[in-house]
Structure 1
Amino acid sequence: MSAPSRVHVDSVRAIAATIGAPPVDADAARALASDCEYRLRQVFQDAMKCMRASKRTTLSAEDVNAALRLRNCEPLYGFGAGTSDYEYKQTREDPDVFYVEDREIDMRELLTRKLPRPPIEVNLVPHWLAVEGVQPMIPENPMVPAAEPVAIEPPRGMKRPRPRAMGAKENGGDPDAGGLLPVVSHTLSRELQFYFDKVTALIRQAGRADASDREVELLSTALRSLSADVGLHNLMPYFTQFITEETTQNLRDLPRLRVLIQMIRALISNPDINVELYLHQLMPSVVTCVVAKRLCQNLDEDHWSLRDDAAYTMAFICGKFGDAYPSIRPRITRTLLRALLDTKPMTTHYGAIRGLHALGPKVVRETVMPNLRSYLNTLEPLL
């Protein structure tokens, strides 16, 4: 004779009544109780296995749910970890039947309770992820640790400006007075360094008399890049120093000077570069290509077209920045007029006349025409 089941027959009949099943006789209730105990043992044995696999010694509701999922059964709801313990009470009619007493809610307490915070409304907020390759420092973007800047040396021949000593007087002070000199290093990204090296190398290659068609084509591409690309402002001091050095060292290299004038005009045409800070360094190179005594190795070379190109570049600079800097046009005019009236070579006279003509008819009328007789007297011995 088999041992009695741990599941009571009355519990089976009570459960059957709650789900609306027809009345269950005694034999069927005993068979169902025995089968229910068998199923429960299977579930709890599997739950014990899940508990041991989790390296725990206390059986939890999650272990029972895991065992039910292994047997393709629906897990329990409302009995997860962290829930409050339920107090089971016996019924008065049958001491073997237990139930969970519902907690009474006081409506006055419910009405006077502080309302919870309303949920945040779902919305869409746009923001800039990156601007010209730089991530804005805003809360929406993740904070990326900044990489240490790589200090580079200035271009060959470029002198570092001597910083003023801290504590020295502005007017009449001794620059060598005691104090600490702030250390300032100009840093460039690797992309800008690579761009500077490529452009300067191409300017040197295309500025030769025997430059190939491929180099000339690449030069046109580089000039378009200099005149339109953004983010080149940090390279302006290096480009300016490069133009100054190349003009000084290659004063009789006509192809190189042509390319440098084209480079200056491309940089001036770029609307995203603040060229005003470097005009005082670029203008001497342009004026040199206008009024220099000799700009080529052989006198048979066409240096006249270079003077014309430099004169129109000078006029373009005056037209673009003349309103912001009213003194730039009078200073250039005085320089050209002095070169015209002094005893200079004819090549210098030609460049001065072309420069004054490029500045406009008003400049010619106010400078050349009043001095025309004295200039003819200077020119007569040479004719």
Structure 2
Amino acid sequence: MGYTRADWSAHFSEGRDFRQLGDDEKRLIAEHAPPPAGGRALDACCGTGELAAFLATLGYTVDATDFAEGALARARAERSTVEGVRWLCLDVEEDDPADLHEDGYDVVTLRMAVAFVRDRCRVLRGLGARLRENGTLIVITPVVERTPEERRHIALDEDELVLLTEGFEEAVRFDAAGMAVLVLRKPGGSFASLEKGRPGPQAVAGAAAVVTDPSGRVLLGRSVRNMWEVPGGRIETGESAQAAAVREPAKETGLAAREEDAHVLAVLHDDRADVRRITVVVRITAWEGLLGLPEPHRFLPLGMARSAHPGHPGGLLRAHRPDVARGMAGSAARAGACPLLPVRRRRASGGRRARPDRTAAHADGGVRRPGRLGPLPAGPGRAA
């Protein structure tokens, strides 16, 4: 069964229909939406017009809408003797509702159709907005647990039924021979989102910290795998990318920073084996502390490497971390400006300017005093 106008028109033109309006449904409608004097009703997605005709017998003046011409052709032919019904070709999701009455409706019905509506909350909110004061929106739908498996595409499960009631201050559910009948009043309540169970993991999220100093040098470390790397790691549960980008350098280098000095530059995506990786590139513009080597089992001595363009780490990263450099360049192009920010070096405690610790431990436990960090070898991320 299709979802286009042409498919639905063919469905009805071929003589097919949905479940007939039952006595329990009629009783509940009459009980919970009795027509006031001059009552007006809107039957959305009316199909062949059975419910619209019933509303007319209750005393309502009815607007019956459907987007399938095949359905409306049958409705006009099969309900030709019913008075007080206006048949309108209208898609409640997409079309301009200008043909509907501006002064609203006392009851709006949506039967056997909500399962096929893509944006249900928005549509119900729109229908609710057309209710007059003390008006009622009635939604009738099959329920998954009471529907044969091969027809469950026309039904809603319990979570989906709960979501239909969001946005209405009053919501009552009734059963009508296995059909759920929702009686909704007083639109304007809050909405809530609901996920079905725990979602399956789609990717591994991490943060890469680009730590620079006022001279434009970038903090890089040569890993024991002989790779030049920026500090970074996985974003933990409940943690922001900025928080991870502050935490990882503190753990790997001993430098402390604050989240307000961490600025997202770009988001990178790549695949490693069968794992999708999402890396948020974050620039750290202020930090304090002494550069150390808390994890000698992972890194050789760390240091600030000078870029060919002082104040702009892009040249250095293009040579040794091209993935991060591409992400920064893409961020600048999208924003229309360079993503680099002013760098501030905070003073360490005691008021004296902190200097990098030029003594770093090797992975084998030895000690080296390297003086200045020499030039990095050329290559796309791997040491020569």
TM-score (norm 2): 0.21
- Structure with higher strand content: 2
Based on CA coordinates, which of the two structures has the bigger radius of gyration?
1
TM-score (norm 1): 0.21
